[in-house]
Amino acid sequence: MAKVTLVFAGLLIALGLAGFFGTGSIHRTALIPAEIGVLLGISGLLAMSPSENRRKQFMHINVTVGLVGCVGGAIEAMRGYLHATSAGLQPDQIALASKLTMSGLLLIYVLLCVRSFIAARRTGKI
């Protein structure tokens, strides 16, 4: 799962950079997916350890970061959409797409991690 973590970290970094540079490098908050990606990447690299306890610890940290990022991104997407529509404005489509994409990627990541944890438990690796 550590290699899968690095793939998702790369996707999140690319999403954050695309959002930041795609909007004219104005809003630093567009880099939030990249920051989560860097955090997952560092922890994913640390999970590539021969020590089973260290690997489990960092993968549990990664899935927690993924879950918090998924929920936070979804809440922010809903909040931004509802705030704009209640004010009679059009929601920022790029920000909304970025938040929903980040949430979707992290949801897939969390589900893959949970599936991996269940499989490891069944095979007796945990």
pLDDT digits (tens, 9 = 90+) for 96-115: 999 999 999 999 999 999 99
Q: Do the Cβ atoms of 100 and 73 come closer than 8 Å? A: yes
> What average pLDDT does this structure show over 17-42?
91
Residue 78 tokens, joined:
């809903």
Q: Given this model, what pLDDT does residue 86 score?
A: 92
Helix (H, G, I), strand (E, B) or coil at 24: coil
- pLDDT cut 70: percent of the chain above it: 98
Q: Give the tens place of pLDDT for each residue, 60-69.
A: 999 999 999 9
Residue 9 tokens, joined:
């970290």
**Which ranges of the chain would DSSP assign to H, the alpha helix?**
2-22, 32-47, 52-86, 93-123
> Confidence band (pLDDT; 50, 70, 90) for 18?
very high
> What average pLDDT does this structure show over 44-55?
91
> Confidence band (pLDDT; 50, 70, 90) for 11?
very high
Q: How many domains does the chain have?
A: 1
Q: Given this model, what pLDDT does residue 10 score?
A: 97
95/63 Cα distance (integer angstroms): 24
Q: Give the tens place of pLDDT for each residue, 77-99.
A: 999 999 999 998 998 888 899 99
Looking up tokens 């909007």 gives: 23
User: What's the whole-model pTM score?
Assistant: 0.89
What's the domain range around 36?
2-123
Residue 71 tokens, joined:
């929920």
Choose among 3, 125, 8, 126: nearest CA to 67: 8
67/103 Cα distance (integer angstroms): 9
Has residue 41 got a pLDDT over 90? Answer: yes
104's CB contacts (< 8 A; 6+ apart) are none
